[in-house]
Structure 1
Amino acid sequence: MKISIITPIYNEEGNIKQLFDEIAIALIGYDYEIIGVNDGSSDNSDKILNNLAKTSPNIKAIHMAGNFGQTAAISCGIEHSTGDIIILIDSDLENDPSDIIKILKKMEEGYGVVSGWRKNRWGNQMITRKIPSFIANRLISRIAGLKLNDYGCTLKAYKKDIIAGVPLYGEMHRFIPAYAASRGVKVGEVEVNFRPRKSGKSNYGMWRIFKVILDLIVVKFLNKYIARPMHFFGGVGFIIFFLGVLSGVVSVALKISGIRDFVSTPLPIFTALLVMVGVQLIAMGVVAEMIMRTYFESRGKKPYQIKEKINL
C-alpha cells in the first residue's frame, strides 16, 4: 500500500522543511510520496521545495502558474498522486504529521474517509472561538448531511478510488467527506493535535467564511437536488411565496390596527424585495456553478495551470 501526502503551499518558507522532515519521520517503514503544490507563493517557498525535491525521489514538487487557491492546489496534487491512500495536510505546521499514523490505523477499520478533529484547538477561548466553532460545525453537519466535529481540519485521509473522481472547485475540499458519505462511503473521525503557527501568517480570513457558506449550499444542491432541480427551485419559490403572504398579513394587521396605512411605509415591500433578490442571487449562483462545472468537465479543463514539475 502506497501513501500520497499532499500539502498545498502558499508563502510557507519557514515551515516547509520542518513539515517534510516530520512527515518522513512519521512514515518510516511506509511506501510513500510527498507532493508539495506551490500555489503561486511570492516568498522563497519555491526554492526550498525544489531543494527538498532534489534530496529525495519521494518528494515531488509542483509549481502552479499563479495563485489558484487551496482547493485547486489539492486537486492538482490528487491528480498527480500515485498512492492508494491520499492524505491532505496543511503546510503551516498546525497539523501534526505524527497524527498521520493514527489516521491510517483508523482507515484499517474499514473507513473510506477519515477526518481529523482538532478537539483542543481553542483552549480556554470559550466565548470567542469554541462556541462559534461548535455552532458552525453543527450547522454545516446539518446542511451537509454528515456529522463531523471539525469540517475545517485539512488533515484528512481518503482511499484513492473515492476521491479521484470528485470534481473540486471553490472551497469544496473541506466537504469531500459529506460528498463521499452521500454515496455510501463510511466516514470516520479521530482526534488530532493542534499546534499554533510559529512562522508566517495565516492565509485564512473572514472572506473565506462566506465562500465556505456558498460552497456548502452548492454541495447540498449536488448531493440532494442535482437530479431534481425543480424540488430545489420550487422549494425556494415556496419560501418566497410564504414570505410574500406573511408580509401581506403584517400589512393588513397594521392597517386594521390603524398604526400604518398600506402606502405610509415602504418597509414591507422593501423587506420582501431584499429577501427575493437575495434568494434569486443564490439560485443564480448555483446555476452558474453547474454551468462552470459543465464547461470544465466537458472540455477537460482544469481550474489551474502548472508552471513546473519535479520528480513527476
Structure 2
Amino acid sequence: MMNNAAGVAGDADAAIGISVIVPFYNEEGSIRPLYERLAAVLRDLGRSSEVIFVDDGSRDGTLAHAREIAAQDRSVRVIALRRNYGQTAAIMAGIDHARGEVLIAMDGDGQNDPSDIPLLLAELDRGFDVVSGWRRERKDNALVRTLPSLIANGLISRISGVRLHDYGCTLKAYRRDVIKDVRLYGEMHRFIPIYTTWFGGRVTELPVRHHPRTSGQSKYGLSRIVKVLLDLMVVMFLQRYMTKPIYLFGGFGFTCFAGSLGGFVWMLWLKLFEGKSFIQTPLPILVTMLFVVGILSILMGLLAELMVRTYYEAQSKHAYSVRQLVNFDQT
C-alpha cells in the first residue's frame, strides 16, 4: 500500500507531484501485479503521487479488482467508463481528472515497466516537457506488431518533423502545463509529442524496458496502422492550417481555377487551329467542373475562417501559448 500521498486523500482538490494514468480493458490478470510494482516504485520516489486506473468498459473482473485496490489504498483512484471508448479516450479521462504537476501514462497489460518512471522523471528535471518511452527491444510479434510499428513510426517522424523511434509506446511523462489544453480523439494519444512542439515544448526520447505479455490478449491488429495514418493526416492539417484554413482551401481553389483556365485555352486552340468542335472533347465539362470546384473550395475556406474565429473568440482562447511572464502583476 502506498503511503507517499500524505495530505492528498484528505483533500480531493489538492495538487500533487505525480499522477500515473493506467487505462485497462479486460486486464483482470494484470492489474494487481502491475499495482504492486507501481506502488513500490512510487513509494521509493518520496514524492506525493496518485494512481488513476481507468477502466475502459471491461467485461471481465478488471473493474472489481481496481475497486478492491482503491479500497485498500486511498491514493489509487478509479474511473469507470460506461463502455469501451478506446485507449485515447481512456487516457484523456485520466488527464482530465489528474491532479499531478507531472502526468505519466502507461499500459495496463504489464508490458511497460514501472521501474522506468524515475528515469523519465530525471529527463523532465533536465528541462524537457515530454519524455517518450522507446521500446528498443520489443517483446511482441515481429511481423504483426513490430514491423508495422517501424514503418508507421518512420512515416510519422518524416511527415511531422518530430523524430521519435516509438510513437506507439504509451509510457510517457508530461508536464501538465504543456498538455492541459490538448484534446485527444481517435488514436491521437500517441501524437502528444507533436502537439507539444506546436507550443514550443521540448521533447526527448528514452529507451525503456518492454516485457512479454503474461495474461490477456492484445487489443491491437494491423487495422490500427490505417487509423494511425488517418489520424496523422488530421494532426498535420491542424498543425499547418488550424489558424489559417483559407491557405489550404484557397490554394486548392486557385489550383482548380488554373486548371480550368488551361483547359479553356486548350479548348480554344483545338477549335481555332484544328477545327474540332467543343462537343467533340470533354474539355467543356472539365473546365466547368474545375471552375465550380474552385469557387466552392474558396467559399469553404472562408467558412472555415469564420469557424476558427468563433472557436477562439467565443471561448476566449488565443492563437499562441505563453511559457513565462516576468515582472507582470499577478491578478
TM-score (norm 2): 0.70
Paired with 1:96 and 1:124, the residues of 2 have a C-alpha distance of 19
Paired with 2:70 and 2:144, the residues of 1 have a C-alpha distance of 41
Look up the equivalent residue of 1:21 and give its one-letter code.
E
Paired with 1:99 and 1:243, the residues of 2 have a C-alpha distance of 56
Task: Name which of 177, 190, 200 aligns with 1:184.
Answer: 200
For each residue in 1:68-116, what CA deviation from the matched residue of structure 2 results, as whole angstroms up to 9, or x when unmatched?
A: 1111111111111111100000000111111111111111110000000
Partner of 2:59: 42
Larger radius of gyration: 2
Shift of 1:234: 4.6
- 3-state DSSP of counterpart to 1:168: coil
Q: Would the aligned equivalents of 2:140 and 2:212 in 1 still touch at CA under 8 Å?
A: no
Partner of 2:229: 213
Mapping of 1:43-192 within 5 angstroms? 43-121=60-138, 125=142, 131-192=147-208
Q: Would the aligned equivalents of 2:109 and 2:213 in 1 still touch at CA under 8 Å?
A: yes
Look up the equivalent residue of 1:191 and give its one-letter code.
P
Q: Would the aligned equivalents of 1:7 and 1:88 in 2 still touch at CA under 8 Å?
A: yes
**Farther-moved stretch of structure 1 (168-177 vs 137-146):** 137-146
Q: Would the aligned equivalents of 1:122 and 1:129 in 2 still touch at CA under 8 Å?
A: no
Paired with 2:36 and 2:84, the residues of 1 have a C-alpha distance of 25
TM-score (norm 1): 0.74
Look up the equivalent residue of 1:145 and give its one-letter code.
G
For each residue in 1:192-235, what CA deviation from the matched residue of structure 2 results, as whole angstroms up to 9, or x when unmatched?
A: 01111110001112232222111111111111111121332355
Shift of 1:170: 1.2
Shift of 1:240: 8.0
Partner of 2:320: none
Q: Would the aligned equivalents of 1:94 and 1:197 in 2 still touch at CA under 8 Å?
A: yes
Look up the equivalent residue of 1:4 and give its one-letter code.
S
- 3-state DSSP of counterpart to 2:39: helix
Q: Would the aligned equivalents of 1:90 and 1:155 in 2 still touch at CA under 8 Å?
A: yes
Partner of 1:27: 42
Paired with 2:242 and 2:22, the residues of 1 have a C-alpha distance of 31
Look up the equivalent residue of 1:50 and give its one-letter code.
R
Shift of 1:27: 1.5
Q: 1:60 to 1:129 in 2, by over 3 A?
A: closer
Q: Would the aligned equivalents of 2:144 and 2:222 in 1 still touch at CA under 8 Å?
A: no
Q: 1:25 to 1:124 in 2, by over 3 A?
A: same
Q: Unmatched 5+ residue regions in structure 1?
A: 245-262, 264-268, 270-275, 299-312
Shift of 1:26: 1.2
Identity over the aligned pairs, expressed in percent? Answer: 47
Q: CA RMSD in A?
A: 3.4
